[in-house]
């Protein structure tokens, strides 16, 4: 009851505080990763408590700091997480040190991630798929519209390249993309949470998830559904950052990985 009350309060009644800017939360390759396939796609997961839009310069540098490849991308983060990517033309030099550098256009914090390539190419998931468990879904009627806050756990399939990301597919009409992206932890587990506006009084929420390999190719989608807990009405805006804190009470991040 205490957890349910905390979640409901955070979602329905918290007034949105000033939102911190988007920041780089994870990258693929990860910091210090070795034997990275030379044809790997470089990726950075952006995170922000309230989402937002930002423009970034993405660069691949060699060990001497020379720019090998670069691109400028604008991304809109729905709720909490989004994705920047760079696929170097012709691949990367084998057995060499590289740096992935991400610079926000607005002058925010620059992120630099050093890694070392090997000699091989991306092997991929070999047909593997993740498993998805939708573990929380609660709806509140805000200014006449039903908004469902959700929390989901994804167990990633084995990835010999160590470059996987997992993502929840967007259910928003007219949007082709992800409602959330994350890098699995050392146990292959990722937790994602967000919210979405739904039409009508919700009874059940269903989400689809995919796993992205080192080239960015998606696995087959998997689905999970959960009965929606309806919490009432509010005129206050949802506060995703507080939702994240409240969802942490559920212990999703600390649950032992299921035996499969």
- Which residues, 6 or more positions from 98, have their beta carbon under 8 angstroms from its beta carbon? 36, 60, 61, 62, 63, 68, 92, 114, 115, 116, 117
Residues 157-212 have pLDDT tens digits of: 999 999 999 999 987 655 557 888 999 999 999 999 888 888 888 899 999 999 99
- Check if the beta carbon of residue 151 is closer than 8 Å to that of residue 209: no
Q: Which of 91, 168, 160 is nearest to 127 (CA)?
A: 160
Q: How many CB atoms lie within 10 A of CB 260?
A: 5
Q: Which of 88, 116, 144 is the last residue of a domain?
A: 116
Least confident of 73-77, 83-87, 110-114, 162-166: 73-77
Q: Which of 116, 138, 165 is the last residue of a domain?
A: 116
Question: What is the three-class DSSP state of 146?
Answer: strand
DSSP 231-248: EEEESSPP-HHHHHHHHH
80 and 181 fall within a common domain:
no
157 and 141 fall within a common domain:
yes
12 and 27 fall within a common domain:
no
Residues 31-72 have pLDDT tens digits of: 999 999 999 999 999 887 666 778 999 999 999 999 999 999
Residue 29, preceding peptide bond in cis (omega within 30° of 0):
yes
Q: In terms of DSSP H, where are the helices of the chain?
A: 2-12, 240-248
The whole-angstrom separation of Cα 215 and Cα 235 is 44
Residue the block writes with tokens 């995919």 = 210
How much is the pTM? 0.81
97 and 132 fall within a common domain:
no
242 and 150 fall within a common domain:
yes
107 and 131 fall within a common domain:
no
Enclosing domain of residue 39: 23-116
Domain-located, residue 257: no
């Amino acid at each position: 009851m205490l957890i349910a009350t905390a979640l409901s309060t955070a979602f329905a009644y918290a007034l949105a505080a000033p939102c911190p800017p988007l920041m780089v939360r994870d990258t693929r390759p990860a910091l210090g990763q070795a034997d990275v396939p030379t044809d790997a796609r470089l990726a950075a997961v952006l995170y922000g408590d309230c989402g937002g839009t930002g423009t970034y310069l993405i660069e691949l540098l060699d060990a001497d700091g020379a720019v090998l490849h670069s691109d400028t991308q604008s991304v809109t983060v729905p709720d909490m997480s989004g994705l920047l990517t760079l696929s170097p033309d012709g691949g990367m030099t084998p057995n060499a040190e590289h740096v992935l550098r991400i610079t926000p256009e607005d002058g925010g914090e620059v992120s630099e991630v050093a890694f070392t390539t090997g000699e091989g190419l991306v092997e991929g998931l070999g047909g593997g798929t993740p498993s998805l468990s939708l573990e929380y879904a609660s709806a509140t009627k805000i200014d006449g519209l039903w908004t469902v806050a959700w929390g989901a756990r994804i167990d990633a399939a084995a990835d010999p390249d160590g470059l996987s990301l997992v993502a929840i597919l967007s259910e928003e009409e007219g949007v082709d993309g992800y409602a959330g992206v994350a890098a699995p932890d050392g146990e292959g587990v990722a937790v994602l949470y967000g919210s979405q506006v739904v039409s009508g009084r919700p009874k059940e929420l269903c989400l689809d998830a995919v796993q992205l390999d080192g080239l960015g190719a998606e696995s087959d989608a998997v689905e999970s559904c959960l009965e929606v807990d309806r919490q009432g009405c509010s005129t206050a805006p949802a506060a995703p950052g507080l939702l994240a804190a409240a969802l942490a009470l559920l212990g999703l991040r600390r649950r032992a990985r299921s035996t499969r």
